[in-house]
Amino acid sequence: MSALSDTAGIAPGPQKRMKSRVWAKFRRNPSALLGAVLVAFFVCVALLAPVLPVPGPLETDWLAVRKPPSAAHPFGTDEIGRDVLSRMIWGAQASLMAGVVSVFIALLLGIPLGVAAGYRRGWTDAAISRVTEALLAAPFLILAIALAAFLGPSLTNAMIAIGLSAMPAFIRLARGQTLSVMTEDYVESARAIGLTDLAIIRRYILPNIFPPLLVQATLTVATAIIAEASLSFLGLGQQPPAPSWGSMLNIAKNFLEQAPWMAMWPGIAIFLVVLGFNLLGDGLRDALDPRET
């Protein structure tokens, strides 16, 4: 059952109390706070990229090719003398955008389909469920690679490919949660007083299926960031010379002996931001779970 199902249709007072209880539980969880701090840090870095005092990510300096970290270039330079720190900062934009946009695509398509399957049941449910099972049968990354190859290599297409590959998990979750909420008395009452299907979905179903979807979305952002880095690493995501952590690693693997720092920083950044989203997702799950005290 959804974490908030017992709050639907109740007065704003108890709902406010529940929100503050969730926030209090979240605040008491050091791992969740660490996750939130990590995510906030990378979001700030990505947003502030244009105003940070670093060279442009495409600026080359042929006198500083593959230079190790120094005061002038704290993270070193790459194979054509570009500042690695600058490319890392601008790469954060690509990675975070890929994570968030692809999950948004998955939610945008997955929620309506999942709710329709759970609410309508019958043939609608059977058809949507079979298609979902078929999509879930192909491993996430293999499906994303196949879709990215079909759409053509670019960051936008990688986001679409990842979003479509992540969509089945959201359809299944939204369907399951809808089926669960549908058994509640308040949905029966809403039907009895003659509310339309759309009104019931908007007022009762969507607010109650939101918490587990939020947790799943946060955890999927982590998966999507790794998937984007993987696709860019394979040459199917962000295209050079535009910076992305995955494509930086793809180039860096050719200079491991001469310039190991080129490979080190992008990996650490991916690890930290993914860890941040995983910790945040776990923290949200614990905070929204009414059984956890």
Where do contacts with other proteins occur on this chain (CB under 8 A)?
31, 130-131, 133-135, 137-143, 145-147, 149-150, 152, 222, 226, 229-230, 233-236, 249, 252-253, 256-257, 260, 263-264, 266-267, 270-271, 274-275, 278-279, 282
Distance of CA 56 to the CA centre of its chain: 27
Q: Please state the closest distance from residue 113 (CB atom) to other proteins, in A.
A: 15
Given a contact cutoff of 8 angstroms between Cβ atoms, the answer to whether 263 and 252 are in contact is yes
Report in angstroms how near the CB of residue 258 gets to other proteins at its nearest.
Answer: 10
Closest CB 11 distance from other proteins, rounded Å:
36
The CB density around residue 178, as the number of other CB atoms within 10 Å, is 26
Angle, nearest 10°, between helix axes 261-288 and 30-48? 130
Q: Is 183 helix (H, G, I), strand (E, B) or coil?
A: coil
The smaller minimum CB distance to other proteins, of residues 4 and 227, is found at: 227
Give min distance, CB of 188 to other proteins, in A. Answer: 29
> Does residue 264 contact residue 74 with C-beta atoms inside 8 Å?
no
Cβ-based nearer residue to other proteins, 208 or 278: 278
Token pair of 247 as six digits: 């494509």
Instruction: List CB contacts of 65: < 8 A, sequence separation 6 or more.
Output: 77, 79, 80, 81
**For residues 4 and 225, which CB has a smaller minimum distance to other proteins in the complex?**
225
Collect all residues with Cβ–Cβ distance below 8 Å to 167 and sequence separation of at least 6: 105, 106, 109, 110, 113, 135
Q: Which is nearer to other proteins, 125 or 184 (CB)?
A: 125
Cα–Cα nearest to 209, from 241, 233, 176, 160: 176
Question: Closer to other proteins at the Cβ: 172 or 184?
Answer: 172
Q: Least separation, in Å, of the C-beta of 168 and other proteins?
A: 12
Question: Residues for the chain: how many in total?
Answer: 293
Which amino acid type is present at position 203?
R
CB of 255 to other proteins, least distance (A): 11
Nearer to other proteins (CB atom), residue 85 or residue 187: 85
The kind and range of the H/E element at 223 are helix 206-234
Q: Which is nearer to other proteins, 105 or 279 (CB)?
A: 279
CA atoms within 13 A on the CB side of 57: 22
> Shortest approach of other proteins to residue 159 CB, angstroms?
17
